[in-house]
Structures are given as structure tokens and as C-alpha cells.
Structure 1
Amino acid sequence: APREVVAPRGEAPLVDGRLDDPCWQGGAWSGEFTVLDLPERQAPVQTAFKVRHDGRRLFVTARLDEPRLGEVVAKVTERDGKVYNDDALEVTIDSDADQVDHFHFAVNSLGTVFDSHVRQGGQVRTTEWNAAVEAKASRGEGFWSVELAVPLADLALNGHSRGAWGFNVARERQAGGQTELSTYAPLTAGFHQPSQFARLTLEQADLERYLWQIKSPYGREVSEADGGLRLTARTYLLNQTGRFRFFRLTASLRGAGGESSQAVTNGLDAEQGKELTLMVPLKAPGPQVLTLTLSDRASGETWAVHQDVVELSYTPLALTLTSPSYRNTVYATQRLTKVAGRVACGLPVEALAGKRLEITLCQGTAGLGSVAVTKVERETAFSLPLPALPPGAYEIRAELRAGQETLHRASAPLRVVPPSAVETRLDERGVLTINGRPTLVFGWFSTPPEEYAAIREQGCNALVDYNAQWRQPEEQKKLLDEVQAAGLKVTFYPYPKPAMLRDDAFAKPLSPEEALLLRENVRRWKDHPAVLAWYLADEPELRPALPQRLQQIYELIAEEDPYHPCIMLNDSMTGVRKYAFAADILMPDPYPLFLKNGLAARGLEYTTQFMKTVAESTGGWRGAWVTPQAFNYGDYGRLNNRAPTLTELRNQWYQAVVAGATGALWYTWSHVANYSHLRLGMPFLARESRLLEPWILALGSGGAVPFAPEEAPLHTALRQVDGVPVLFAVSTGTTPLEAELSLPAGSGSAWHVISEGRQVTARDGKLRDRFEPYAVHLYTLDAALAGRP
């Protein structure tokens, strides 16, 4: 059971870091901190804390024992600096106990504060988020102390905040000469594990006025207005306070150009929601902190604050091609007869009246065809005939005109390439095609040549090789020949020497000398039939890599080799967003971290969160693959870890499939022989995936299937191929679940469960089944399909 913390209501302390306020004199201290990752071991140097509230703010004070007070590390003085690298106290608050989002505060012995909004189970953090927090620190005999005050309005309270919250206090100790990490809640696999937090109860807390839900602003558009720029966006506000309230909602932007704001007033009854339109002057394009502040219309008391970091840009006219959808390139296997796209216009709607768009296909100064659009909107779709063109460079140009006057121009390149012996590209759905045939990629990292035949026999068709940059050309050719002979494909780094992979190299733009070497290396190998794709970067956010460099590398390779895509692997959702447009295929590695005598430390739904981030970050215009965890982190020194079971392997993969993944390269083959679930389970999963390849790749042929209970941790997708349905249903729940799936009208009743040898009968359009923890059920109406080995 989680540990319990109680916060009595009382008079607010003077926040000065001392422990002499009346509110701190009564009640017991909470302590008995344990070592991170070793919940059975008491921390050698202890910490104790108390929590109070006054109905407006939450107060935390802590006494941190320190036998080496003179060695306390206290270097960071700037807000949101790396306070956690000093001796520091950390406080984490999950104010609605959803075990997904939480707020993180760290304070060092100087009183310097780091705070962030941590989302998606601990994997994405926004450090630009700043609460109106107050913190002070002090020193005593053999200890140092902290007082922290956090406004309740900054903690995103909602209707689920009436009960106990998730809460923890942790500590980084550096004074002993090495980093010692300890925690009140017995955590494993890091401090940001909200599913393992303690429970915090606020006594005599009247929280009702703070209970609102504010949706992150959506539909954001930047346009010209009143002689400048303006952001228009929408948000949805839900009143969960229990009664009618008048409010003021103030939207503000803070960026390099300064600050601006705009307010709207309105009223909402209990459980009533409303979409509100926000219009805020934009001082200058670029990154902005967008803050929504909800307050009492009469008194001005702040009830809720919501912050987002957004990138706002303005272009009067922007042209995007949607066909061809991949690299703006026409391939021999496509047989396209038209070019299609959309033109986005940043001018006010009223300024578009009477205007027209001229869309022209050009080569140099020669026009090869055009179309006029007389109804111009903020976003205008177009298409124009594509004649049979010889290979070469072309351009699609868009002009916004008033009469004969051209007001704005935009363009996009169009490339026509000749046929190739091996044409590997993505189709309009982001599915990999090889010579026009959609292909499911399923394979491994780091498979040695002597195992190529074995993985091919199991149903694998690809591998990742980490070491091309270390080999001489003749050695690399030998490996590629062996891959080809085994009927496999390989992705590897395009870099001709290891120096181009060093952290210091990745931190700088691509030099002309590096570009020349890279171009020569791509030319050397691009025509080898074993090449699947170029592996651009492995977890570049950890270096961190300069996005400009990766963009340069991607564009160089795309120019030099139109016949093979580029892959990017990320280990954080922030990294996915940061580098999304420097590759054709995004392949995150959302490792759940499987615990001994336990389940997944991060929650198994971590895979879905990553894959949704891939789709959201690219608008669906990139390929989505995944690198699931098929290894034991304990073999790398992480305590209390284990390898995944077959159930967990299958769950990771089909979760990704439901979320749109069309390929998997598993990490890593070197662990397979050590664990029976990997050794025996992965061949089964490879064969099953190959059997279901047409349905896995049939993106857009169906959709999610509704289920009950609605809050169940289920992930569903119905796919159709030649009239045969396959329903993917994946549970990320940690307890058994009885679920009811609502089938489309006209569906049959006899559903066979693939690989399970059983049948479930649908009644009244409902399919009822039981899901054990992490269970995957694959249903079909085709008995022959379900019965295949």
C-alpha cells in the first residue's frame, strides 16, 4: 500500500526556510527515506518533512540531516537551472491522482527553484512552466532546511482532485562526495513514477472554486490584424466547482518580442462546458509561453492557471504538397496523374474576398500547366494534371492575385526520378513500399551474421547494424552481401567515420568537409540491394544534437539517394517533437522498464503515448515504426529489472500497431538466448505478425471500436482487407477486465480469436470478452485466418 501523508489546515507560515513558525510545531514528521531503486534499504542520511495548507497555498517544509554541512553543493542560482545537480530537495505533486501528469519542484540550499510540468507518466517535461512558487532555505546545526509554498491555482485541480493526491518528497545528496538519491515513497526506476507516489490528504480543504478543466489551446492560427500579428485559438473550459460561477479568462503570450494579453468574461453552471475563442496580439513570431489564467470576475482571485509552450510562425502564403506525399517526389511505381496540395494563407478572411490563387507547374521559367482557384480560404486545396514528365527538377508555384497584381508567392519543389532496381519509399499512408509493394518491417538490432538465416526463417526481414562507421569499405561490402544472401535488409549509419558520430560533432552544423564525405559514402552504398534505410541518429536528444545538423544531413541524403528513407530513433516524446522533420520514419524506443516481481515501471501504455506523439508531431506525414523493449535492463546494471514476458512483448507491439505503427526493429538480439520468453516467444510473434501483415498495414481501413466501460485501459483498431476484418484489442490494465466492444453495424457474430483457438459470439452488436492484465486479443470473422499457424 502507498505511504500516507496528511496536510492539516492552518495559518500560513512566513516562508523563510526556518522551522520556527507555529504551524510547524505540532504533528509528527514524515521520514524514513529509502534509497532509490532499493526500497528495502534505509537512506544513510535521513530527511523529514511536514505539509500544511491554508486553503490557498500548499506548504512543505523539510529538514535535511547533513553531517558534512560544509560540503553541501550549492552552485545553481538561476530559476529553472539544474538545481537537481546540487544538494536538493524535490517535491512532486499529482493533484488529481491520474498517475500521468504531475508537477515537479526542486530547491537547493540557496533557495533556488526549478519547477516543471511533467506529463505522460514522467516522460515529457515543460521547464518553461512556472508556478507562482515561493521558496527559502536555511542552515542549522547538522542540517539544512527548506520551506516551499505553491498556490493551489497552479496545480491544475479538477473534479478528480477532491480525494487524495499523488505526492512525494525526494532528495539528491552530493555532500558525501557522490550522488545519493533517497525518497519518501519507495520508488524504483527514477523519481518520476507517479504510479508509485505516496497519498496526500488535505484536511478541511475547500477546493471547490479551483476545480476546472482547461484544455490546451487548439486550432492555433497566426494572421495579420490591426496592423500587426494576432494569434487566434480556441480552448474548452469545464466548470467542475459544483455551482454557477462568473469568471474572467485571460490569455497571455510571452516571447522574445515581449508580452501581450486579452481577456474574455463569461459564466458557467456546474458541469457545464464551453468553447471559448481567444485572440491575442503577437509581438513577434517564435517560441512563446501561452498562459491561460482563470479568475473570479468580481474579486479577481485566481482559480486556475494553464501554461503551454508553443511555436508561432507567420507566413502570408505557404504551399504543401499532399500528392506526391513523400519527399515531393514522383516515383516510377506511383503512376500519378495529378499533383495535389494545399495553400495556407495568413491574411485576414475579409482580405481574401475577390482574390484568386494561380497554381502552376513549372520547370525553370516554362509553365507546364496551371489551375486557378477563385474561392480562396485560409486553407485552400488544389489539384492540377500531371503530364508524363522526364526525370528532373520541377516546381509548383502559388500566387495570390488581385486582378493582375501578385500579392504573395509560395513554392514547393517537385522531383521526378527514374526507375530504380530497388525503390524503397513511403506511400501516402506512411507505409514502406519496396518496388511498389507495401512491406511490414520486422526485425532486430545487432544480429550477428551467423544468425541471419535463423531470424529470416522466423519471419524477420530487417536488422539494424550499429558499426558501419568502424568498418573498411571491403568489410562493409562483405556484411551487406551476407545480409542480401540471407534475404534480409539492413539499416545503418551513413557516416563514413566514427568522428562524425561524436557528441561534439553532433552539436555543430554540418561542415562542407563533412558534407562531402557523407555524400561520397551514401553514393558508395546506395545501390546495394541489401540497403533498407539510413539510420540518422540514435536518441539525439541525449547528446543533445543540433536540429539544424540533422536537418542538413537528412536533406543531403534525400537529395543524393531518393530511393531509401531516413530513420530517427528517439527515447523521449520531447525528442520526437524536436527532431520530427529530420527523418522520413520516426522510430521511438518507449521502454516500459519491467520490474522483478512486478509489472512495467512506466506503465505499459507508455508505447501508445509515444506513438500518438509521433502522429501528432508530424500530422501523419511520416512513417511510424517502433523499437520495443526485448531485453533486461538489469543486464546493464539497473537494479530490480527483468526481461519482458511474451504477453508483454506482444502487448508492446500490438499497442504500437493500434496507434499506427507499420514496422518494428526490436532491441536487442544479444539478449534473446538468455531469456526463454525472448528465445521462444519472439519467433511466434514474428510469424503471427507476418500472418497479419496486410491488416497491420491497412491504415485507414477502419478505426477505433468503442468499448465499455469507457474508462477501461483498452486500445482498439478495426482493419479491413478484401472484406475480411481483424479487430485488434489491447489492454494496458494491470488487473483483469470484463469489456464490451461495440461492433460496426452489420458485423457478423462468430468472431475467432487469432492464436488462442477459441471463438467469441457477438450478441446485439456487442462483443464481450475478458482481458487478463496486459492481454491482447485479435478477433476475425475468418476461421481459416484464425486457424493458421
Structure 2
Amino acid sequence: MALPPAGLNAGDFFPVCMYGITQPAELKVLKDGGFNCFQTYEPAPEKLAALAAEAGRLDLKMVASPDKVLGSPLEKEAKRWPVLAWYLYDEPEIHRFSPASLAELDKKVKAWSPRQKTAFVMGEGMAALSYGAAADALMVDWYPVPHLRLESLGQQVTLTRQGGMALDKERPGKPVWAVLQAFNWLEYPQRRAKRIGRFPTAEEARFMTYLSLARGAAGVFYFKYSDAAASPERWRIFTDLAAEVRRLGPLLAKAKPGERPAGLDPALDITVFRHWGRKRIIILNPSYANVPLNAAALKGWRPLFERKRYLEELLPGGSNLYLPPYRVLVLED
């Protein structure tokens, strides 16, 4: 059974964020790239204050740990920082930090700063069935390239939403933020005798982004930031996606589910959103094979974020159009 669209609980703000920011100078790069928030692992209150000051100047939101801030001279000032959410914990299920301990930490942070939100990240959606009652927002990180099928990400987002809905009856619309892969696994230690890894392609990054949105993610984070000037081609992948998500995300977050158009191949993953009399549709090919696309079934729909206006110009196949593996189409009526 399909889940309803997730509530944002944040007006029209739809988080499109980058993980791993360390310096205030990096925030201008994010802003120019179309992002509206960032996550940092920086623990020092003084350095967080510098990030917060620059974030405020650039109208960016931040996600940061409250651990060292609590009890510090900056404790009072931090309540006015542009915080999207205080980052309670990183993958508690992996580090054996119990649900009760996480709930207590959440309570402690809320007692200190009731107006600011809290969040934490899990390494898989199943963990939400144990931890989903805590915090104002749930995050799930899932990095499948190259060893897992990309569509496994969708299951993790769905499980995370289900866990939050099951355990937190007071906040059934609690947002889930998807943390998506923007790195090469070869950059990290592995237990495998033969190490594997590569950076996601533009097509894979776009597929993961739209699969998350189709499954109800109320924000997307990319893990993690690296020097944009060192690899402008890779940076362009994520700035292009940031522009698309910032335009589309808030509309999807407010939308209601729509009916799947008749006549489309059942192998296609299709999600329809209705909002203010308009409809948007996300069409994904979640397989390694080409899947036929019946253009007649999409008569009246207009492609978004494409260089061509007509499906016949966008897709291969001539009179027998098909969607290549992991291709994404976003259309509106």
C-alpha cells in the first residue's frame, strides 16, 4: 500500500543539502550551487558559530551536533543560529546507542532549545522500527553504488517512513530526509579482500534523487562535499539536481497521490502527484533492461528539466520508444 506524501512541517522550505561542510568559505560555493542547507561534523562551538554567522548571511540552514554546544559559553547564542535541525546521532543502530538513550538525548536538546528541531540518521530503514519515535525528522543514508541495486534505496526510504508513522503517533507526518551517495567507496576502509567502488554517474545520482522523492522523502542530502573546483564535472551533477529539486520538491511535499496513466508498461516505476489542479509524474526505469514507453498514454504531458520538448526527441527507439535502464522522466500536465 502506498504511503501518503510526507508533511514538511517547514512551510515551503524543502531541504536540498550537502553533507560534510567544514569551512565558512565553502558555504558561498553551496549557495551559488543552488543548495539551501548543509550538514557539518564540526564539533567545536566557536567554529560552529562561524559557520552559523556565514549561513545566516547567505540564508542557509544548518544541521550540526549540539553535544559541545550544550554547556558552552555559546549555549544561549546557539538558540538563534539558523538551524534546520540539531543532529542528535549518526547511525545509532550501528553504534549500539539504544532507542531509550536517543529519546533521552532528544528530550535534553528540546529542553534546552524548544523552538529548534532535531534529527538523526540511520544506516538502514529497518532501524526506524526501533528508533522512529525520536526527533522531529528522520534521516536514512543508503549508498548502493556499485554493489547494490539502485532501487534498494526506495525500500529504505519507505521503511523509514513506516517506522516513523508506527512509533510516533503524535507526528504521523514526520519528515524523512534521504541521504544520497556522492562519493566513491574506494575512499573508505573496506573489509572486502578486493576493494570495490566508484563515483555515481549523473544518471545514477538523478535516479536516486527522484526515487527518494517518489517514495516521499521530504528533503535530500548528498554525502558528501568535496572541493568543487577540483572536479567541476562532478559538482555540476549535484548543482543541476539541486536546481531541479528546489523547484519541484515543495510542490511534491504538498501534493496528493494521483492515478497512474493507463497503458504504461508495469515494469516502470510511476508516481503521480496532484496539487492545485495540476499533476506531475515521475517515471523511473528501475531495471537493467530497456522498458517500452507508450507515448500515446502520455499525451498532454510536458517533460520538465529536459533539453527537448517531445518524448520522441528525448528517448531512443523511434516509433517504438523505450526508457533506458535507470532513466528518469519528470512530466507535468
SS of aligned partner of 1:750: coil
Contact 1:523 1:560 in 2 (8 A): no
Matched, 1:610 2:184: no
Corresponding residue SS for 2:256: coil
Counterpart in the other structure of 2:315:
none
Q: Contact 1:646–1:677 at 8 Å: present in 2 too?
A: no
Alpha carbons 1:494, 1:522 under 8 Å: kept: no
SS in 2 for 1:588: strand
Q: Give the match for residue 7 of structure 2.
A: 430
Q: Is the 8 A contact 1:705 1:742 kept in 2?
A: no
Corresponding residue SS for 2:179: coil
- Name the residue aligned to 1:729: 283
What's 1:460 paired with?
A: 35
Show the counterpart of 1:662: 218
State the one-letter code of the partner of 2:65: Y
Instruction: Provide, for residues 655-711 of structure 1, a one-character-per-residue CA deviation record: whole Å limited to 9, x for no partner.
Output: 00000011011100126555555222111111111222332322425365566443x
Q: Is the 8 A contact 1:534 1:567 kept in 2?
A: yes
Q: Distance in 1 between matches of 2:162 and 2:9?
A: 19
Q: Secondary structure at the match of 1:440?
A: coil
CA distance in 2, matches of 1:466, 1:482: 16
Counterpart amino acid of residue 738 in structure 1: P
Aligned residue number for residue 357 of structure 1: none
For residues 210 and 75 of structure 2, what CA distance do their matches in structure 1 show?
A: 34
Is the Cα–Cα contact under 8 Å of residues 259 and 272 in structure 2 kept in the other structure? yes
Distance change (3 Å), C-alpha of 1:486 and 1:648: same
Query: Which residue identity lines up with residue 438 of structure 1 in the other structure?
Result: D
SS of structure 1 residue aligned to 2:305: coil
Contact 2:209 2:220 survives alignment (8 Å): yes
**Is 1:684 the counterpart of 2:240 in the alignment?**
yes
CA RMSD of aligned residues (A): 2.8
Q: Is the 8 A contact 1:462 1:489 kept in 2?
A: yes
Q: Which residue of 2 aligns with 1:755?
A: 305
**SS, match of residue 32 in structure 2:** helix
Give the match's secondary structure for 2:236. helix
Per the alignment, residue 180 of structure 2 pairs with 628
1:440 paired to 2:17: no
1:772 deviation in Å? Answer: 0.7
In the alignment, what sits opposite 1:717? 271
Letter of the 1:623 counterpart: P
Counterpart residue type for residue 442 of structure 1: V
SS of 1:648 mapped into structure 2? helix
The answer on whether the counterparts of 2:256 and 2:275 sit within 8 Å (CA) in structure 1 is: no
Identity percentage of aligned residues: 24
Q: Take 2:295 and 2:101, find their aligned partners in 1: how far apart are those partners? A: 47
Relative to structure 1, the CA distance from residue 579 to residue 690 in structure 2 (aligned partners, 3 Å threshold; closer, same or farther) is same
Q: Which residue of 2 aligns with 1:565?
A: 117
> Aligned AA for 1:716?
I
Deviations 1:68-104 (A, max 9, x none): xxxxxxxxxxxxxxxxxxxxxxxxxxxxxxxxxxxxx
Query: 1:519–1:576: structure 2 CA closer, same or farther, 3 Å change rule?
Result: farther
Quickly say closer, same or farther: Cα 1:706–1:445, change in 2 above 3 A.
farther
2:141 alignment partner, one of 589, 598, 601: 589
1:432, 1:626 → 2: CA distance? 16
Counterpart position of 1:476: 48
Note if contact 2:6-2:218 (Cα within 8 Å) is conserved in structure 1: no
Cα deviation digits, residues 241-282 of structure 1 (max 9, x gap): xxxxxxxxxxxxxxxxxxxxxxxxxxxxxxxxxxxxxxxxxx
> How much has 1:523 moved relative to structure 2?
4.4
Pairs within 5 Å for 1:517-536: 517=70, 523-528=76-81, 530-536=82-88
Which is richer in strand? 1
Q: Deviations over 1:387-427 (max 9, x none)?
A: xxxxxxxxxxxxxxxxxxxxxxxxxxxxxxxxxxxxxxxxx
The 5-angstrom pairing of residues 375-394 of structure 1 reads: none
- Equivalents in 2 of 1:460, 1:727: separation in Å? 23
Q: Which amino acid aligns with 2:237?
A: G
778 and 535 in structure 1: CA distance in 2 versus 1, 3 angstrom threshold: same
- How far off is 1:493 after superposition? 0.7
Report if the CA contact (8 A) 2:207-2:284 is conserved. Answer: yes
Query: CA shift at 1:634, angstroms?
Result: 1.1
2:163 counterpart SS class? helix
CA deviations over 1:343-366 (Å, ceiling 9, x no partner)? xxxxxxxxxxxxxxxxxxxxxxxx
C-alpha distance in structure 1 between counterparts of 2:116 and 2:154, whole Å: 27
Do the aligned residues in 1 keep the contact of 2:258 with 2:273 (CA within 8 Å)?
A: yes
Alpha-carbon distance in 1 for matches of 2:75, 2:321: 52
Among 649, 653, 663, the residue aligned to 2:205: 649
Q: Cα distance, 1:573 vs. partner?
A: 2.7
Partner of 1:340: none
Inter-CA distance 519–679: structure 2 relative to 1 (3 Å threshold):
closer
In the TM superposition, what is the alpha-carbon distance from 1:735 to its structure 2 partner?
Answer: 1.5
Q: Is 2:41 the counterpart of 1:489?
A: no
Displacement of 1:485 in angstroms is 1.3
Check if 1:640 corresponds to 2:190: no
**Shift in Å at residue 741 of structure 1?**
8.6
Evaluate the alpha carbon distance shift between residue 669 and residue 559 of structure 1 in structure 2; reply closer, same or farther with a 3 A threshold: same
SS at match of 1:564: coil
**d(CA) in 2 for partners of 1:540, 1:772:** 38
Aligned pairs for 1:123-142 within 5 A = none
Quote the offset at 1:445 in angstroms.
0.8
| Aligned AA (1:487) | D
Partner-residue secondary structure (3-state), 2:208: helix
Question: What is the alpha-carbon distance in structure 1 between the residues aligned to residue 34 and residue 323 of structure 2?
Answer: 27
User: Cα 1:626–1:706, aligned 2, differ >3 Å: closer, same or farther?
Assistant: farther
Q: Deviations over 1:7-53 (max 9, x none)?
A: xxxxxxxxxxxxxxxxxxxxxxxxxxxxxxxxxxxxxxxxxxxxxxx
Residue 733 of structure 1 deviates from its aligned partner by 1.0
- The match for 1:14 is none
Deviation, structure 1 residue 446? 1.6
Q: Give yes or no for the alignment of 1:539 onto 2:91.
A: yes
- Distance in 1 (CA, whole Å) between partners of 2:71 and 2:173 is 26
Q: Which structure 1 residue ranges, 5 or more long, are not aligned?
A: 1-427, 498-516, 595-600, 762-767, 782-789
Q: Does 1:694 align with 2:269?
A: no
Instruction: Give the secondary structure class of the aligned counterpart of 1:628.
Output: strand
> Which residue of structure 1 lines up, in the alignment, with residue 169 of structure 2?
none
- Counterpart-to-counterpart distance in 2, 1:733 and 1:489: 36
Looking at CA atoms only, which structure, 1 or 2, has the larger radius of gyration? 1
Q: Which residue of 2 aligns with 1:552?
A: 104
Shift of 1:646: 0.9
Measure the CA separation in 2 of the matches of 1:587 and 1:520: 29
8 Å CA contact 1:705, 1:741 repeated in 2: no
SS in 1 for 2:226: helix
Whole-Å separation in 1 of the counterparts to 2:321 and 2:103: 47
The question of whether the paired residues in 1 share the 8 Å contact of 2:125 and 2:157 is answered with: no
The CA distance in 2 between the partners of 1:667 and 1:449, in whole Å, is 18
Residue type of the partner of 2:31? R
Superimposed CA distance per residue, residues 439-480 of structure 1 (whole angstroms, 9 cap, x where no aligned partner): 110010122322211211221010001012xx2x44332221
For 1:308-345, what per-residue CA distance to the aligned partner results, in whole angstroms no more than 9, with x for missing partners? Answer: xxxxxxxxxxxxxxxxxxxxxxxxxxxxxxxxxxxxxx
Q: Distance in 2 between matches of 1:474 and 1:446?
A: 17
Aligned length: 311
- Assess if the C-alpha contact under 8 Å between 2:129 and 2:160 holds in 1: yes
Deviation for aligned residue 1:536:
0.8
Give me the whole-angstrom Cα distance separating, in 1, the residues matched to 2:210 and 2:129: 23
Distance 1:742 1:577, change over 3 A: farther
Q: How far, CA to CA, are the matches of 1:707 and 1:457 in structure 2?
A: 42
**Which amino acid is the alignment partner of residue 755 of structure 1?**
F
**Conserved in 1, the CA contact under 8 Å of 2:126 and 2:156?**
no
